[in-house]
């Protein structure tokens, strides 16, 4: 008769093996294997993988371990369970008494008593390990070692079945299957980026073959007695350069705060090399190598990239999620005002999860030959009794939106709300209600992602500020311009 523990082990192996025989991605399959191991062992588990230098270990998946513990610092292959990488299992019954672990005090603080490390092998070479962190002091048994070894083998099998090619010995470039698989495995990082620009930065690092680890270490900065009251976690660690990199957003308030933390970090940890990369520097860095949005835009008279394509997609996704939630069961009509809205509308509706209708309107703008704004293309759908959500590219003075809202209100919708991608609040003349806003933009002329200047720039994948030499003349010094002039300077037939 199998014991309760044996039954739990069989169940976990069955579940992990089922993940292999599914349409899961490599990352999903590895996450499942780690989770099943953690459940069976009733302990925290992580999968760590060698980087290409074979000197550092990168966390790929984990389950049941705190962020603080995971960010304890970079793991060096010669200091952290080194024998596992020679292909041997390592069982440490008492972490406080063992020199084979790299951060014993932090393990003790996290309440970890015992650790079991099992190698993950590809074609006879260790590429990483599965580690089990037990809070209860544990003398790991053969049964435990066998279970985790089976899970490590399942991880290797996941890799074999999900690596793009399976040529027998060597590829044309002379790269062996094992090397390819090891490289594929390194790509599997469970990174949830806090900001899209971090993801872009990671792609650039990959592009230049610079090894990186995302947020590997949190540095305590202030204490109240024994308790840490403030921490700083730099975004990246570049192992080859022994350099931490922190990316900053555009908000000055956050930059000032980061600068303060950096000064404190340098004071407390003088041996740590860290650099702060402003978004502007980052865009310039990319442009220098002829890539990135600024490089593409240079020739077009764009002075600054405000929101990259990744940032826009991220924000549009969040808006779609919020709107889908708010409109569940209400089947809204989403009405776009042509033409600047076409990119935003297309991306927004494609990320929405509730049933909806789409319609468009177009209006004429101020020009010498038209005395008043008018609708040049009306909606096709009847809004009477329907929930209507107006979708705008940018709200500037608010006059366009005010006109359209009044027009629609007179047609008895059940409700009327507004979603705008950009809000140029500094130039508002009419106070229009905005229910959903993508970004608040500065008082600058912006183009791209549907927005144009004299019909140019609509196809740029990002939103940028038009350089002063290209800017509409009235826009450059609009403090003295009349309302009509201000509008004329920004309005074009859309």
Q: Check binding of 490 to ligand IMP (CB under 6 A).
A: yes
* Piece of the chain touching ligand IMP by CB under 6 A; list 31-39, 203-211, 393-401, 406-414: 393-401
Closest to 419 measured CA to CA, from 438, 404, 403, 432 = 438
Name the residues annotated as catalytic: 396
What phi and psi values does residue 319 have, to the nearest 5 degrees? -65, -45
CB of residue 310 to ligand IMP, shortest distance in Å: 21
Closer residue to ligand IMP (CB): 333 or 401: 401
Q: How far is the CB of 56 from ligand IMP (least distance, A)?
A: 46
Question: Which has the closest alpha carbon to 421: 396, 442, 391?
Answer: 391
**How far is 267 from 289, CA to CA, in rounded Å?**
34
Task: Say whether residue 297 binds ligand IMP (CB under 6 A).
Answer: no
Coil/strand/helix, residue 387: strand
Within 301-330, which residues bind ligand IMP (CB under 6 A)? none
**Is the N-terminal amide bond of 492 cis, ω within 30° of 0?**
no
H or E element, residue 402:
helix 399-409
Closer of 217 and 424 to ligand IMP (Cβ): 424
CB of 404 to ligand IMP, least distance (A): 9
**Hey, which residues between 397 and 456 contact ligand IMP (CB under 6 A)?**
397-401, 424, 445-447, 451
Long-range contacts of 3-11 (CB under 8 A, 24+ apart): 5/143, 6/143, 8/39, 8/40, 9/40, 9/143, 9/147, 11/40
Query: Under a CB-based contact definition with an 8 Å cutoff, are residues 75 and 115 in contact?
Result: no
> How long a stretch of residues is the chain?
494
**Between residues 310 and 446, which has the closer beta carbon with respect to ligand IMP?**
446
What's the rounded Cα separation, in Å, for the pair 405 and 402? Answer: 5
Q: From the list 200, 246, 396, 423, which residue makes contact with ligand IMP (rule: CB under 6 A)? A: 396
Give 332 or 450: the residue with its C-beta nearer to ligand IMP.
450
Tell me the closest approach of the beta carbon of residue 348 to ligand IMP, in angstroms: 15
Task: Work out which of 340, 413, 450, 464 binds ligand IMP, going by CB under 6 A.
Answer: 340
Exposure letters 76-90 (e unless 16+ CB within 10 A, then b): ebeebbeebbeeebb
How many residues touch ligand IMP under the rule CB under 6 A: the total is 18
| Shortest distance, position 441 Cβ to ligand IMP, whole Å | 7
Alpha-carbon torsion, ordered 157, 163, 167, 168, to 10 deg: -20
Comparing CB distances to ligand IMP, the nearer of 113 and 490 is: 490
CB neighbour list of residue 446: distance below 8 Å, 6 or more residues apart: 306, 394, 422, 424, 463, 464, 465, 466
Report the site for ligand IMP in 140-169 (rule: CB under 6 A): none
Q: Which is nearer to ligand IMP, 186 or 491 (CB)?
A: 491
Chosen residue from 51, 215, 393, 423 binding ligand IMP by CB under 6 A: 393
Sole window of 134-142, 263-271, 287-295, 388-396 interacting with ligand IMP (rule: CB under 6 A): 388-396
Instruction: Give CA–CA dist 367/200, Å, rounded.
Output: 42
Stretch that binds ligand IMP, among 82-90, 144-152, 326-334, 486-494 (CB under 6 A): 486-494
The answer to the question of residue 247 lying near ligand IMP (CB under 6 A) is no
Binding site for ligand IMP (CB under 6 A): 340, 393-401, 424, 445-447, 451, 490-491, 494
């Amino acid at each position: 008769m199998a014991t309760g523990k044996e039954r739990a082990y069989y169940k976990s192996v069955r579940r992990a093996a089922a993940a292999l025989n599914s349409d899961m991605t490599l990352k999903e399959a590895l996450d499942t294997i780690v989770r099943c191991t953690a459940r069976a062992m009733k302990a925290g588990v992580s999968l760590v993988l060698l980087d290409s230098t074979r000197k550092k270990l990168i966390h790929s998946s984990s389950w049941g371990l705190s962020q603080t513990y995971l960010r304890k610092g970079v793991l060096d292959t010669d200091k952290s369970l080194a024998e596992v990488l020679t292909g041997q299992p390592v069982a440490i019954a008492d972490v406080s008494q063992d020199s084979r672990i790299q951060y014993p005090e932090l393990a003790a603080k996290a309440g970890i008593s015992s650790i079991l490390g099992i190698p993950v092998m590809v074609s006879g070479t260790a590429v990483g390990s599965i580690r089990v962190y037990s809070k209860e002091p544990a003398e790991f048994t053969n049964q435990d070692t066998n279970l985790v070894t089976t899970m490590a083998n399942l991880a290797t099998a996941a890799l074999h079945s999900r690596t793009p090619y399976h040529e027998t010995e060597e590829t044309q470039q002379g790269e062996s299957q094992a090397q390819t698989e090891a490289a594929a495995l390194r790509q599997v990082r469970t990174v949830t980026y806090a900001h899209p620009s971090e993801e872009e930065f990671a792609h650039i690092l990959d592009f230049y073959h610079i090894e990186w680890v995302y947020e590997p270490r949190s540095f305590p900065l202030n204490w109240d007695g024994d308790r840490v009251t403030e921490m700083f976690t730099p975004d990246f660690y570049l192992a080859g350069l022994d350099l931490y990199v922190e990316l900053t957003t555009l908000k000055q308030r956050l930059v000032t705060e980061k600068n303060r933390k950096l000064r404190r970090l340098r004071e407390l940890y003088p041996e740590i090399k860290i650099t702060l990369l402003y978004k502007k520097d980052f865009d310039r860095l990319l442009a220098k190598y002829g890539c990135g949005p600024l490089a593409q835009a240079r020739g077009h008279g764009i002075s600054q990239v405000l929101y990259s394509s990744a940032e826009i997609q991220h924000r549009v996704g969040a808006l779609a999620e919020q709107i889908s939630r708010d409109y569940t069961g209400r089947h809204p009509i989403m009405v776009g005002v042509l033409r600047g809205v076409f990119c935003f509308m297309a991306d927004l509706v494609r990320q929405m999860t509730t049933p909806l209708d789409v319609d468009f309107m177009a209006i004429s703008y101020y020009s010498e030959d038209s005395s008043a704004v008018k609708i040049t293309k009306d909606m096709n759908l009847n809004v009477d009794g329907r929930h209507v959500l107006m979708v705008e590219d940018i709200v500037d003075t608010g006059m366009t939106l005010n006109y359209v809202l009044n027009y629609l209100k007179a047609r008895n919708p059940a409700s009327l709300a507004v979603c705008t991608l950009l809000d140029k609040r500094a130039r508002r003349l009419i106070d229009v209600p905005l229910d959903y806003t993508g970004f608040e933009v500065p008082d600058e002329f912006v183009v791209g992602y549907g927005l144009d200047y004299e019909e140019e720039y609509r196809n740029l994948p990002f939103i940028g500020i038009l350089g002063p030499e290209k800017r509409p003349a009235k826009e450059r010094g609009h403090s003295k311009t009349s309302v009509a002039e201000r509008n004329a300077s920004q309005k074009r037939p859309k």
